[in-house]
Every structure is written in structure tokens, then in C-alpha cells.
Amino acid sequence: MTNLLVRLERASVRFDKLQVVDDVSLDVHRGDIVTIIGPNGAGKTTLIKTVLGLQPLTSGSIHKTPGLQIGYVPQHLQLQTTLPLSVRRFLSLTGASTKECQAALHQTGIPQVFRQSIHHLSGGEMQRLLLARALVRKPDLLVLDEPAQGVDINGQAALYDLIRSFRDQLHCGVIMISHDLHLVMAATDRVICLNQHVCCSGYPEDISHDPAFVETFGRPVAESLAVYQHHHNHHHDLHGDVVDERHSSQHQDACDHHVHS
Ligand SMILES: Nc1ncnc2c1ncn2[C@@H]1O[C@H](COP(=O)(O)OP(=O)(O)OP(=O)(O)O)[C@@H](O)[C@H]1O
């Protein structure tokens, strides 16, 4: 059985004379976390709309595995502020049971808001609620458009950790858009730098050195990206504790941690 969830082949989207997505090919498998970065207007949202089936392609093709269940976390949610709406009601609109809704809130770390008005949530709580709403669908693919918008820096790191843990639990694929380059570099498996076309793509530790990345984001941004790398130079015992070299004859399972900028 293949783990391929979505395949875009030479996908293009054009609005009148404006080429917004240009010849993009992309595969997302189960277990992948793929993050799309790029400047404003680069076509990132348009690209994920094609995956969601909200935006037809002008040319190229998209293949989704049959029966693919997608959970979507949008960039903004327009809510009529005069309309009374509790978190409980909002989640129940998905068709999930009360128990499933409560479990999803628990998983996203905000069980206490179940009976609250949705209009009283903080920015961070709102993002977690949108994630909970996507999760009750038990998605094969989680699609997130700037999930950490309006969330403070500690909250952003926690949110990305949460997304990774859902990927592990559900063994789903994740495709997201982010402008938080430092966090993306730490929390992603694969990065796609989009500027209508794919400028460069690959592992986070490689991409910040790519000339196309430097050209798109500028040298100061590229140089400021501290990429965590894993090199071996000390040793652990069976419990994971670091072993003093002088007392160790074994040289297995060694590692060292460097931060490069
Ligand atoms: N339905 C549409 N009709 C015409 N133009 C559109 C449409 N949707 C998007 N565009 C244009 O396509 C371009 C790319 O928009 P898109 O929202 O995909 O960019 P983005 O990379 O997500 O930007 P941002 O980082 O600012 O959110 C923009 O110039 C936008 O104005």
C-alpha cells in the first residue's frame, strides 16, 4: 500500500494575466511535515487551495488518494460577532459527538473553554480551537495556513510541537504555510520555498544555504537562521546519560549538539 496522500504534477494557476502558481510539482506522504514558505503574494494560499479542492488548476494535475480525509486550519475565520456561538456549538457543527469534541479540546490543551463563547477566546486559544476542529475529522492530511498567527513566541513553539505530536499520533501528513522561519527550520521535515514557482526545496538544514533561498529572503535572514545539527562527539550510557570519556571504552550512540548560524 502506498503512503502517498497528494501528488501535484506541474500544477499552475493563473488569474487573468497573473501567473500565481507556476509549474509546481509536490508529493505529500503519510508522516511528512511539508512547510511552504515564501514572500507575500507568492501563491502559497492559492497552492493549498488547490489541494483542498477550492481552486481549480489552469494546467497540470492533482491526484489525491481515494477517500482522503482533510482537516483544514484556515488563516482567518470570519465570525459574526453579534451571533452568539459557544465553543461547544462550534465544534458540534462538524457532526462530532460531545465526547469527541471534548477529547479534541483536551488534545489541543484547552479543555476549559468548552462552554465559553468563541468570541472571548484569546488568539492562541482560537488557533488551538481551529486545530481541534480539524482533528475531530481524524484527518489523513492536515492542512494549515499560518497556524501560529497572532500567537506569542512561546505559544508558537508549543503549537508546532502539538502539530508534530498529532502527525505522530494520527500518522497523517501535514502541509502548512508559515512565515515563522526559525520555527519552521526547527519543526519541519521538508521546506518548499515558493515564489510562484518552487525556488528551492529540501531539508531545513540545507535550504538556508541555497542561493535561491538567499535571493528570496535576503542574506541577513538566511544567516540568522540557526540550524540545529546533530554530530557525534560524546557518548551515552544505556539510560541516555552522557558518559565521561575517560571512563568509557565504548564509542556507540554518541552525539554532540552544535548550533550553527
Ligand atoms: N481569486 C483570485 N482572483 C484573482 N487574484 C487572486 C485570487 N486569489 C489570489 N489572487 C492573487 O494571487 C496572488 C497570490 O495570492 P496568495 O494568497 O496565494 O499569496 P500568499 O503567498 O498566500 O500571500 P500571503 O503570504 O500574503 O498570504 C496575489 O497577488 C493575490 O492577489
CATH number (domain holding residue 187): 3.40.50.300
What per-residue confidence (pLDDT) applies to 112?
94
Average pLDDT over residues 186-199: 86
Q: Give the distance, in angstroms, between the CA of residue 100 and the centroid of all CA atoms in the same chain.
A: 23
The pLDDT of residue 243: 53
At 30-44, the pLDDT tens digits run 999 999 998 889 999
Q: Is residue 234 part of a domain?
A: no
Which residues span the domain enclosing 134?
A: 4-206
pTM, full prediction: 0.81
Residue 18 Cα to ligand 1 midpoint, Å, equals 10
- Higher per-residue confidence, 158 vs 14: 14
235, pLDDT greater than 50: no
- Of the chain, the percentage scoring pLDDT greater than 90 comes to 52
Buried b (16+ CB within 10 A) or exposed e, 5-40: bbbbeebbbeeeeeebbbebebbbebebbbbbbbee
| 243 within domain boundaries | no
Which residue owns the Cα nearest ligand 1 atom 25? 40
Q: CB neighbours of 141 closer than 8 A, spacing ≥ 6?
A: 5, 6, 28, 51, 68, 69, 70, 71, 172, 173, 174, 175
To test the ligand 1 pocket, which listed residue (16, 17, 18, 20) has its Cβ within 8 A of the most ligand atoms? 20
Residue 17, in any domain of the structure: yes
Structural domain contains residue 220: no
pLDDT at 125 over 60: yes
Please indicate, yes or no, if residue 78 is contained in any of the structural domains: yes
Nearest Cα residue to atom 16 of ligand 1: 43
- Using the mean position of ligand 1's atoms as its centre, give its distance from the Cα of residue 46 in Å: 6
pLDDT tens digits along 135-163: 998 999 999 999 888 788 878 888 888 89
